[in-house]
A and B are shown apart, each in its own frame.
Chain A
């Protein structure tokens, strides 16, 4: 099985570590992924907020390109950034549900001499790992079990809401199962999909920061060594504002916040550098049990 891969802006910028680790991990699992050529903005944030139709058009172009590039009957497009994942999925959904949208978008694509046959399946890497490759297979390929590492899996909102395509909306488990397959321990906590502060972090820090704080606080309280995320914005919010939190709440908040794909890579024996872990602001502790993979 071959997959198309849609990076989106974040994975080329703030969250390069995510892209690096996704690609490295899939390679280590022997799964081929091709980057979508000539991709454009997924349509998230500003567009979606201001003019949905524009957002849909942008997303639709990516989907059309995917069909063009893949050529198979049902191309699968992997979108690691949950923002992209949501907008692309939402567009796919709207194109199928609402003839009005469908008509306008087809028109827009036509202008760009493109047509979209609605065949693309937008999926998140977690979905692929759990439901296509499977935990058994992954467990078999583990070279550096994450012995004794306590992981708090944090899914964020967008990969399960509003579309619970591959996991439960309230208590998702896919990432936890993955971590367990890697030999790590997972903390059972109730905040897996609670808001990280999102863009409020920038616009209304007095609201945003406490939201992130609540998450990290609970993770620490439940004895987590590291928080695993699946979304660039979550990772950014949870990692970058730890000093601010510590200061604001008068207690040391320090915990590494990584991409779940980085942990996956580690377990598969990929070097930290190739996983972009040198980019972490709060470094990962040595993986107990197994020796630390060499950088």
Chain B
């Protein structure tokens, strides 16, 4: 048991608090009652116990030994506990021989009935008396305050506080989430009521912040977390978002922005103006450096198997920068002129524009560039390596692999069985879609950079795989899938029945030949469509495609199907071949088919076709082309080094590395996947090249390859308000000419290409064209930059996170977003600014000068449906805008207000001045803004309907421009932020101060302060004043160097602790540990914050809490119940 002061002699002191208590509580009666309580030796009352004479009463009784424990019945302990503890101490007793009964906040102010109030007061006093008898003497402990300060928010509040503290020689971290400090004030033109220029008074302070040695400015950064560092100080984690521009090197010259092709609405100009993807919010920004907005890889690029940067070249095309576009294309694609023609373009499928009207014709644009520069060259390798690598097959997979390897310095050698290189590209795709010379050129470009291609060299005959493996550092097998699937119906071997690929190969290599009049093509894939269109060009009169399912299930590209139909190809759906009729002599004469119907979905997810029994019918024909898929010709390779294959007759490979079961031998493309599109074959080639490179350098072949190949982007784009404009069709030769092998599409002209490119929505914002890097002399730009995490320790934090404006769209009846000439106040503010989007001109959207302007007050404020509070600044800034509008345009200005709220120095005078200037004031909340004209003079105007409550009539005021005086709201993430900083939000969602009058910038979390509009709507004057106050609070803390903590910590009575460990996991501050020598729990007082959770849970009562022992609380309970 602690030393103590003998038998209790308790003094009870009841405060009148003027009339605050006395008016409700019968003080004499209470005092009388107090005298009757056990151990009470003195009971007195006084008008103001907190006053000096009041405290003197207590001290005398203590000094003269009448009393050794004190109960004061007055206001809330949160208000004056400290005061009376001091008094007790000065009276010579330990300050904790004191307890307070809250008979003001909890009694006199909340109780209607005087008798009941008196009773309640008695009960609380009885409780306090019983409790204080069990109080023990305690010592407050001191904890040092770390001298560093964190300020969150770089608006005028943050700036002001930072400068004040830094001036006092203390270290300040100023964190701002935007690229520059300045906050809302930087957007203002003039400040009321003095109409002085905001920039003129703000920017000097901003530069001081930048220059100040004691301020560490962290812009474009956000606080991630705040953890207790010790009992009183904080460990703060800050995320420094990647700017992609090196802050220390950038000179702010702005050349980058000049060349940047991406234009987006400027946040700083409230969307009235534009900025580039690499930008600086405004010329005086601090720090005066640029930032690149990157939303991430755009959907088109992400969806592309080889991640071709489509947005990049599209944006450049839109700006007529064609050469630059070519460079972007060649960054990741060695076969662009081929892809530009025949790629199935997953990019387009995922194009965001597709959700608005139609996707962009991305391949078309790529083709445009390659057509424009027919003689472009591929980049040449920058280094050379000795290793030779064998590649089997010169299809897109083989070519891509060779190219990627070559770029890494290797010497790839391609072995091709066919007389021409290109694989399926050359033999499987008809030249009216992909002219031969295009292929030849692409292949020559590859040869030019040192890729060797051996045609007519079938591996397995000319040379064996085994030899390749011995002679080459690595082998990549990409033999494609060239063996036709069979229908397996009678008569399939009759003359006049062709495999689709066989047919296409023959036409491609030997030229067109006669098939007869009527041709049937069986199958629904791209090759089938190619075959059909080729058949037409071979002179067939009637070509019909026979497909088991319906159009919806056809795997072929819809555009190709359309093209085929245009050319006259007929479609026969839900029909499957049963027998091919004819004989050796006549050859095929007809096809017997079965009608089909769609059944339940099969493995491919498409509905499975089911034959309808007895529905046979016959189609007569002269030739049948069967194009129902292909498989790899693995047999042709001869002995296969025991390479494993799948049941589908494809090679078995590791899907991450494409390595086969034989080390150093890789396989990819159709011979692994089965028939697939070009771009996926190229993807395989690229993948293999990466694997081979790692394999030869003995690197981990799997690490960090997740993002190879197609994926979906995480973000979504807001496309609302995008004007509709469908895709611009690519010119093609007229139908009549589509009987030859002339290429069908002729490609975009420059004008068309630019127009089509302009449809791009800039999903990724920065399009990664990297032009900025080319002009940056300081070499400040770094596309690889990553977010950085920084940890600091501080003793005090000031939150100055400011406000956000009410979103006027939430009140549709005011027409914001519907009527172009309805603006928010801040938008007009920007217009009035000479550096703003209109160079200081106040204009309507169509450029006219407004003749009449209506300003609607309290938009989103003083309205139960939105915010019930008054935003305080709107009346004044409306007056300011009224003045500026009248001054700049001479327009009639109408203010619609509920009440004019202009308290504050020189505000009323400002209001008077506006009245004299002839601004109109109409008292009444506006009902609606409408373009519904009822009289001629309302035609073409916006009509403001409002009740004029002063004359009691509904008025309709026609105006050209409406300005909405939107209110102030807490930041969207205020709740998240306050949780981070352990503080609360008050009504309206603004940060809650510790006391509305006496602690306006303190919070309930020690060491955390608030300043400016994050605490509640306020103007610049008040904001700056609060910032000063917060700075003063912080400085006084730092200068004292320590804080005293309430000694309400928990402790363990070891003689009673069984070491059951119940308390240990409950402590939120990990203050409790297990002392295994003694086998008992131990509380680290330096970490305990005194919540008492462990005490409540301790099953043997061994844990107790100072100031809140079980017995003290029991006594209080008995007390409050002993007198009701």
Residue ranges of A at the interface with B (Cβ–Cβ < 8 Å): 168-171, 189-191, 214, 218
15 A-B pairs in the complex with CB atoms less than 8 angstroms apart: A168-B812, A169-B812, A170-B812, A170-B813, A170-B928, A171-B812, A171-B818, A189-B932, A190-B928, A190-B930, A190-B931, A190-B932, A191-B932, A214-B934, A218-B932
Q: How far is the CA of A168 from the CA of B930 in the complex (A)?
A: 16
Nearest A residue to B930 via CB reads: A190
Across-interface contacts of B928 in A (CB, < 8 A):
170, 190
Residues of B within 8 Å of A168, CB to CB, are 812
Chain B residue at smallest Cβ distance from A171: B812
Cβ-closest chain B residue relative to A172: B812
Contacts of A218 in B (CB 8 A): 932
Told that A168-B812, A214-B934 touch, could you supply 6 new A-B pairs with CB distance under 8 A?
A169-B812, A170-B813, A171-B818, A189-B932, A190-B932, A191-B932
CB distance from A212 to the nearest CB of B (A): 14
CB distance from A168 to the nearest CB of B (A): 6
Which of A168, A170, A218 has its CB near the most chain B CB atoms (within 10 A)? A170
Residues from chain A with a CB closer than 8 A to the CB of B812 are: 168-171
User: A-B pairs with the 7 shortest C-beta distances?
Assistant: A170-B812, A190-B930, A170-B813, A190-B932, A171-B812, A218-B932, A190-B931
| Nearest CB on B from A58, distance (A) | 30
Convert B804-822 into 0s and 1s, putting 1 for each residue whose CB lies closer than 8 angstroms to a CB of A: 0000000011000010000
- Bound complex: CA A191 to CA B933 (Å): 11
Q: How far is the CA of A191 from the CA of B932 in the complex (A)?
A: 8
- Closest A-chain residue to B931, C-beta based? A190
Question: Whole-angstrom distance between the alpha carbons of A171 and B818 in the complex?
Answer: 10
A190 CA to B930 CA in the complex, in Å?
6
- A168 and B934 CA atoms in complex are apart in Å by 24
With both chains docked as a complex, state the minimum distance between the C-beta of A85 and any C-beta of chain B, in angstroms: 21
Bound-state CA distance A191–B945 (Å) is 13
Q: How far is the CA of A218 from the CA of B931 in the complex (A)?
A: 11
B window 811-848: CB within 8 A of A: 812-813, 818
CA distance A168 to B812 in the complex (A): 8
Q: Give the Cβ gap from B808 to chain A, nearest Cβ, in Å.
A: 13
Interface range on chain B: under 10, 10 to 19, 20 to 34, or 35 or more? under 10
The CA of A71 and the CA of B813, in the complex, are separated in Å by 41
B interface list, Cβ under 8 A from A: 812-813, 818, 928, 930-932, 934
Enumerate chain B residues within 8 angstroms of A169, measured Cβ to Cβ.
812
Which chain A positions have C-beta within 8 A of B818? 171
* B872 CB, min distance to chain A CBs, angstroms: 27
Q: A240 vs B818: C-alpha distance in the bound complex, in angstroms?
A: 33
Nearest A residue to B811, CB-CB: A170
* B934 contacts across to A, CB distance below 8 A: 214
Rounded to whole angstroms, the CA-CA distance of A191 and B934 in the bound complex is 12
User: Of all chain A residues, which has the CB nearest B943?
Assistant: A190
How far is B931's CA from A275's CA once the two chains are assembled, in angstroms?
Answer: 34
CB distance from A213 to the nearest CB of B (A): 11
Shortest Cβ gap from A82 to chain B (Å): 20
Q: Which residues of B contact A171 (CB under 8 A)?
A: 812, 818
Residues of A within 8 A of B931 (CB): 190
Please give, as numbers and ranges, the residues of chain B lying within 8 Å of A214 by CB-CB distance: 934
- By beta carbon, the residue of chain B nearest A221 is B933
The distance in angstroms between the C-alpha atoms of A175 and B818, with both chains bound, is: 18
A191 and B813 CA atoms in complex are apart in Å by 11
**Complex Cα gap A214–B818 (Å):** 22
Q: How far is the CB of A196 from chain B (nearest CB, A)?
A: 15
The chain A residue with its CB closest to the CB of B813 is: A170
B353 to chain A, nearest CB (A): 19
Give bound CA distance, A189 to B934, whole Å.
13
Instruction: Determine the chain A residues whose CB is within 8 A of the CB of B932 once the complex forms.
Output: 189-191, 218
Closest B residue to A222 by beta carbon equals B932
Closest chain A CB from B281 CB (angstroms) = 33
Residue of B whose beta carbon sits closest to that of A191: B932
Q: Complex formed: what's the CA distance from A218 to B933 in Å?
A: 8
Closest A residue by C-beta to B939: A221
Task: Name B934's closest neighbour in chain A (CB-CB).
Answer: A214
B829 smallest CB distance to A (angstroms): 26
* Cα separation A168 to B932 with both chains bound (whole Å): 19
CA distance A129 to B813 in the complex (A): 26
CB distance from B845 to the nearest CB of A (A): 17
Complex CA distance for A169 and B932, rounded to whole angstroms: 17
Interface centre among B928, B930, B931, B934 (most CB of A within 10 A): B930
B814 to chain A, nearest CB (A): 9
Which chain B positions have C-beta within 8 A of A190? 928, 930-932
What's the minimum C-beta distance from B910 to chain A, rounded to whole angstroms? 34
Q: Which residue of B lies closest to A215 (CB)?
A: B932
What distance in Å separates the Cβ of A185 from its nearest Cβ neighbour in chain B? Answer: 15
Chain A residues near B813 (CB, 8 Å)? 170
Question: What's the nearest-Cβ distance from chain B to residue A274, in Å?
Answer: 32
> Which of chain A's residues has its CB closest to B929's CB?
A190
Q: State the CA gap A20–B928 with chains docked (Å).
A: 37
B307, chain A: closest CB distance, angstroms: 33
User: What is the bound-complex CA distance between A132 and B812, given in angstroms?
Assistant: 25
The CB with the most chain A CB atoms within 10 A, among B813, B928, B932, is that of B932
Query: Shortest Cβ distance from A43 into chain B, in angstroms?
Result: 27
Report Cα–Cα, A218/B939, bound state, in Å. 12
Q: Complex formed: what's the CA distance from A191 to B943 in Å?
A: 13
Bound state CA distance, A189 and B813, in angstroms? 13
Question: For residue B812, which residue of chain A has the nearest CB?
Answer: A170
**A170 to chain B: which residues have CB within 8 Å?**
812-813, 928
In the bound complex, what is the Cα–Cα distance between A218 and B935 (angstroms)? 11
Q: Whole-angstrom distance from the CB of A170 to the nearest CB of chain B?
A: 4
A170 to B813, CA, bound (A): 6
Chain B residues positioned under 8 Å from A191 (CB to CB): 932
Least Cβ–Cβ distance between B547 and chain A, in angstroms? 23
Instruction: Report the nearest B residue to A217, measured CB to CB.
Output: B934
A171 vs B934: C-alpha distance when bound (angstroms): 19
In the docked arrangement, what's the CA distance between A189 and B928, Å?
14
- Shortest C-beta distance, A250 to chain B (Å), equals 16
CB distance from B938 to the nearest CB of A (A): 12
Instruction: Determine how close the nearest CB of chain B comes to the CB of A45; give it in whole angstroms.
Output: 26
Closest approach, in angstroms, between the C-beta of A217 and any C-beta of chain B?
Answer: 8
Give chain A nearest CB distance to B387 CB in angstroms.
57
Bound together, the chains give a CA A168 to CA B818 distance in angstroms of 13
Please give the distance in Å from A243's CB to the nearest CB on chain B: 22
Closest Cβ of chain A: how far from B818's Cβ, in Å?
7
Among the interface residues A171, A190, A191, A218, which one has the most CB atoms of the partner chain B within 10 A? A190
- Tell me, rounded to whole Å, the shortest Cβ–Cβ distance linking A25 to chain B: 27
Q: How far is the CB of A189 from the nearest CB of chain B, in Å? A: 7
For the complex, give the distance between the alpha carbons of A106 and B812 in Å: 39
Q: How far is the CA of A234 from the CA of B579 in the complex (A)?
A: 67
Q: How far is the CB of B820 from chain A (nearest CB, A)?
A: 13
Q: Could you tell me the distance between the alpha carbons of A190 and B927 in the complex, rounded to whole angstroms?
A: 13
Instruction: Give Cα A48–Cα B930 distance, bound, in whole angstroms.
Output: 32
Closest to A214 in B: B934
Question: How far, in angstroms, from A61 to B813 measured CA to CA in the complex?
Answer: 37
Q: Which residues of A are found within 8 Å of B930, using beta-carbon distances? A: 190
- Per the bound structure, the CA–CA distance linking A294 and B813 in Å amounts to 42
Docked Cα-Cα span, A169 to B928, in Å, equals 12
A218 to B934 alpha-carbon distance, docked (Å): 8
| Closest beta carbon of chain A to B859's beta carbon, Å | 14
- In whole angstroms, what is the CA distance A171 to B812 when docked? 7
> How far in angstroms is the closest Cβ of chain A from B947?
16
Report the minimal beta-carbon distance from A257 to chain B, rounded to whole angstroms. 19
Cα distance, A169 to B865, chains bound together (Å): 13
Closest B residue to A218 by beta carbon equals B932
- Shortest CB distance B930–A (Å): 4
Min CB distance, A30 to chain B, in Å?
19
Complex Cα distance, B818 from A190, in Å, reads: 11
- Per the bound structure, the CA–CA distance linking A214 and B956 in Å amounts to 15
- What's the nearest-Cβ distance from chain B to residue A162, in Å? 11
Distance to closest chain B CB from A112 (angstroms) = 38
In the complex, what distance in Å separates the CA atom of A191 from the CA atom of B930?
9
In the bound assembly, the distance between CA atoms of A214 and B935 in angstroms comes to 11
Expressed in whole angstroms, the Cα–Cα distance for A190 and B814 within the complex equals: 11
Minimum Cβ distance to chain A for residue B552 (Å): 13
Question: Who on chain B is nearest to A194 by CB?
Answer: B932
